[in-house]
Amino acid sequence: MTDLERIHTTKLYLDKLANGEDPINGDDLPEDTVLNNVYLCRAFAYASSILGEVIKNGGVVSKKNENRVRPFAITEEQRSKIKLSEEPVGVTTITNRIEAVLDRDVKRIIPFKITEWLEREGLLERVFIEESGRFERIATHAGEVIGIETKNGEYNGIPIKKNFYNLNAQAFIYANLEAIAGQTSVALEEPEDLEVKEEKPAPKKKRATKKK
């Protein structure tokens, strides 16, 4: 394998990781894995873009960055071209369909951003799953109403929960892409770590006394 072929392979792995896919078997990564962390996904995408420039230059590292990534933007024409399917699909398939219609220099939406936004909207919630011994996102009642279904799955022999999105849920996500892309990611606390902090009353200010 030549150096350029290694770069191609490395870029392919990074692209898959950035989009929430296992680079070895192509399966969707569990939604709660550290590899789906928004900051890591951004790092994978950034590294992949650099390797893309190296490939364009025939394996030579260029000092110029002519193809800077623009903030997320989508036209209504592009939105109308995103594939919808009667068959429920996972979030990775949804992000792949979105990316397929976007301009090449536009910042992508990664799976974590979608599930994070759905959680904030009350359509997914994180619960502790005894079988896997960790917290996972599952559909709430409101999420089920719009078409999200949580099923039992498996990843590397470990039982996991997988969310599938029907035609209505897909359309709902596509209609809210700007809100999903524009959200500020924060580290969400695990439920067991939440503490109710009692607010203490502010101390009374002492009045200044005049000297005689």
* Number of Cβ atoms within 10 Å of the Cβ of 176: 14
* Number of Cβ atoms within 10 Å of the Cβ of 70: 12
Q: What local confidence, expressed as pLDDT, does residue 107 receive?
A: 87
**Closest by Cα among 91, 88, 72, 89 to 32:** 91
Helices 38-56 and 111-120: angle between axes, nearest 10 degrees = 150
Q: What local confidence, expressed as pLDDT, does residue 185 receive?
A: 55
Q: Which of 9-13, 62-66, 142-146 has the lowest mean pLDDT?
A: 62-66
pTM, two decimals, is: 0.63
Dist CA 82 CA 69 (whole Å): 21
**Closest by Cα among 175, 126, 128 to 147:** 175
Question: Looking at the predicted structure, is the pLDDT value of residue 65 above 60?
Answer: no
pLDDT class of 36 with cuts at 50, 70, 90: low
Q: What local confidence, expressed as pLDDT, does residue 90 receive?
A: 94
Distances (CA, A) of 124 to 61, 116, 169: 43, 8, 12
More reliable by pLDDT, 7 or 112 = 112
Residue-wise pLDDT for 104-160, tens only, equals 888 889 898 999 999 999 999 999 888 777 888 999 999 999 999 999 988 777 788
Q: Which of 41-45, 60-64, 79-83, 107-111 has the lowest mean pLDDT?
A: 60-64
Which residues make beta-bridge pairs with 126?
Answer: 137
Please report the beta strands in 7-130, taking only residues with DSSP state E, as ranges in sequence order: 124-129
User: Which tokens in the block code for residue 45?
Assistant: 């995408």
pLDDT class of 189 with cuts at 50, 70, 90: very low
At residue 153, φ and ψ (nearest 5 deg) are -140, -170
- Domain residue extents for the chain: 3-187
